[in-house]
Chain A
Amino acid sequence: MPTSPTSPFSPPTSRPSLDRRSKDLRTLVLRAFGAGRRGHLGSAFSLVEMLRVLYDDVLRFDATKPLWEGRDRMILSKGHGCLALYAILADKSFFPESELMKFCHIDGKLGGHPERGKVPGVEASTGSLGHGLSIGVGMALALRARPEAGRVFVIDSDGECNEGSLWEAALSASKHRLENLTVLVDYNHMQSYSTTAEVLNLEPMADKWRAFGFAVKEVDGHDVASLREALKATPFEPGRPSALICHTVKGRGVPLLEWNAAWHHKNKVTDEEVATLLAALEEA
C-alpha cells in the first residue's frame, strides 16, 4: 500500500468486513456501472461511507421536495465519484432505482458527472475539479442570513486539492468565517495516474487546511461510527469552516480494485466483469 511519508495519519490498513448497508450501496453502484459499461468505480467506492453517513444521519432533506428551502446542500465536487451519489440518492428515493440502469444511456438522466436540474438531489453540476468549493462558499454566504436555511457540505477529492481554485475558495471560506460550511476530503491517496505522493504531494494535508483557517478533524473514511460522530458535531469550532479529512481506500470493498490505479476509470465493461466484482464484493 502506498503511503504518504509525512502523513501523521496512516491510511486504513485493516479491512473489517463491510456491513450489509455498505455492501448494498456498492451493489447499486456496480449495477449502474454495469448498465453504463463504464465509470469511475474506485473513486465511487472510496466515497460510499461518507455519503451513507451524510444521508442517513446528518443531512436534512426531503426527497419528495429536492429544492426544499430548508434542506442542507451537499455538493459532490469530485463529480467523477457520482456513481456513489446516484446510489444513495436512489436509495433515498430522489428517483427510482430503475434510473440507475440507464447510467450514461442516451435517454438517461444520470451521466458520467452529475448535473443540477437533471438529477433530483444534485446541487451543482460538477466534473471539472476545483469548482464545487467556490459554489459552496457562495451558497453558504447566501444561506447564513436566513435563519431557517440549511448548511453546506462539499466533498472534494484529494487529487482535486491540486487545483489552485480550491485554495482560493478555502481562503474565502475562512475569511467569511463560514461555520455553516463543511468540507469533506476523500483522501484515498490515489489519483488517476498514481499515488498523490508521486503526482503532487499533498502533505501535510490537515495542516494545510488548518493554515487556511479551517477547524480540522481526521477520520477513517470507512468507519461509519467515526464519520457519524464527526459529522454530527459541525462546526468543529465556532466561527470557522470545518474540514474533515477522510482517509479512505480507493476501490474499498473489492480487493481487485483497492489501491489499483487501473480501476480509476473503466469503460467497455462486460457483464462477466460486473458479475465477478459483485461476487467479490459479497465475499470481502
Chain B
Amino acid sequence: MRKTSLDSVYELAKQDKRIVFIGSDIGAGTLDEFKAEMPNQFFMEGISEAHVVGMAAGMALEGKIVYINTIATFLTRRCYEQVALDCCLHKTRVRLIGSGGGLVYAPLGPTHLAVEDIAIMRALPGMTILAAADAEEMKRMMPHTVDIPGPVYIRLGRGGDPVVTDPTDPFEIGKLFLLKPGKDVLLITTGTMSKMALDAADLLRAQSLDAGVLHVPTLKPLNVSGLIAQMAEIPVILTLEEHSVIGGLGSAISEILAEAAFTPAKRFRRLGLPDAFCENYGSQASLMAKQGLSVERVAQQALELAAGARV
C-alpha cells in the first residue's frame, strides 16, 4: 500500500509541477525514479519531522502541493504542533502519508505503533483523514487528494493486504462503501480492518446472523448523514479499527449514535485496541489477536451483542 501511495505521488507529480514530495530519512531506493526525473520536486530532508512539516507548509503557502512520507508516529506525535498550526491553521495543501498505521510495526514496539494517530488528527480543524482498505483503493484515492484545499492525513496499512474493494466503484472523498449488505448486524470499519470484518461476517452467516460490512475510508470529514442512513434499519452496530478505542472510528460513530438517538436504541460496541501501550511484539496479526482483534473475536462479540448480552 505504501508503494502504491508513493508511486501515485510520482505519477501525479509528473502531470502537475506544483506537486512535491518530501521524505525525512526513508528507505534507500525509495522513489529513485522520481528523484532522478524531477529533482526539483523531490526532497529528502533528514530526521527532523517538525522542520519538515513547517517547511512543507511554507512551500504550500507559495502554491506547492506537498506530500510528506515517514513513519506515522513521527508524522503525527512528533510534530503535532506543526501539523496543527503550520498545516491546519494556515489551511495549507500538505499531505501527510503516515507509514504503518496501527500495529504494522509490531516487532518494533510502542515507539513505532500508530494507535492514536486518527484520534489526534481528528481533533484538528480542517484536517481530512483517509484510510484505504487495500492498495487498489489507495490507487483510486490518491488523485482525489490533490485538490483538497486543506491538509490531509493518509494512513497507510501494512501492504500486500487482500483486495476487498470493488474496482468498478469510483472513490470519492466522504463516500461510504457497503462491502457487504446485511440486515442483522452492521460492522463499520476503516482501513485494512475491512478484510477482518468480511471474514467475521462469513463466520456469522454460519450462525444464521446476517452481518453487513460498511467501509469508511474518509474518517474526516465524516459522512454523518450517510452513516445514519446506513445504520437506521440495523439493530446491532459494531465498529472495528486497528486503533485505540479512544478517539477513532468507534468514538466518532458513538458520537453520531448518541446524537441521533435512534428508537429503539442500537446495541453498540467499539472493537479496537485497549487504552494501553502494547507490551508484546510478534507479527501484526499475532499482536492484534493478543489485543483482542481477530476474526473469531469480532464474530463472538457480534453474536453476544445480537443476543442482547451485556459484557
Contacts and interface: CB of A to CB of B under 8 A. Distances in A.
Interface stretch (B4-12, B52-60, B169-177): B52-60
Contacts of B82: 131, 134, 165
A145 interface: yes
Contacts of B90: 116-117, 124-125
A168 to B, nearest CB: 4
A138 B58 contact: yes
Contacts of A260: none
A171 interface: yes
B183 interface: no
Interface string A138-181: 11111101000000000000000000110011011000000000
Contacts of A145: 40
Given A124-B90, A125-B90, A145-B40, A172 B46 contact: yes
Interface in A171-227: 171-172
Max chain B Cβ within 10 angstroms of own Cβ: one of A130, A133, A143, A165: A165
A172 B59 CA distance: 14
A135 B81 contact: no
Contacts of A142: 58-59, 62-64
B54 A134 contact: yes
Interface in B22-60: 40, 43, 45-46, 48, 50-60
A27 to B, nearest CB: 31
Contacts of A137: 51, 54-55, 58
Contact of A128 (B40, B60, B62, B81): B81
A164 B49 CA distance: 11
Interface residues of A, number: 27
Interface string A102-136: 00000000000001110000011100101101111
A134 B46 CA distance: 13
A120 to B, nearest CB: 15
Interface residues of B, number: 27
A168 B85 contact: no
B40 A134 contact: no
Interface string B60-92: 111110000000000000000110011001110
B48 A172 contact: yes
A138 B62 contact: yes
Max chain A Cβ within 10 angstroms of own Cβ: one of B54, B64, B85: B54
B56 to A, nearest CB: 6
A116 B89 CA distance: 9
A135 B50 contact: no
Max chain B Cβ within 10 angstroms of own Cβ: one of A134, A168, A169: A134
A125 B89 contact: yes
Contacts of B55: 134-135, 137-138, 141, 169, 172
A164 B86 contact: no
A135 B45 contact: no
A137 B86 CA distance: 13
A20 B134 CA distance: 67
A171 B48 contact: yes
A145 B62 CA distance: 11
Contacts of B58: 124, 134-142
Interface of B: 40, 43, 45-46, 48, 50-64, 81-82, 85-86, 89-91
23 contacts: A116-B61, A116-B90, A117-B91, A124-B90, A125-B89, A131-B82, A131-B86, A134-B51, A134-B58, A135-B54, A135-B58, A136-B58, A137-B55, A138-B55, A138-B62, A139-B59, A139-B61, A141-B43, A165-B82, A169-B54, A169-B55, A172-B45, A172-B48
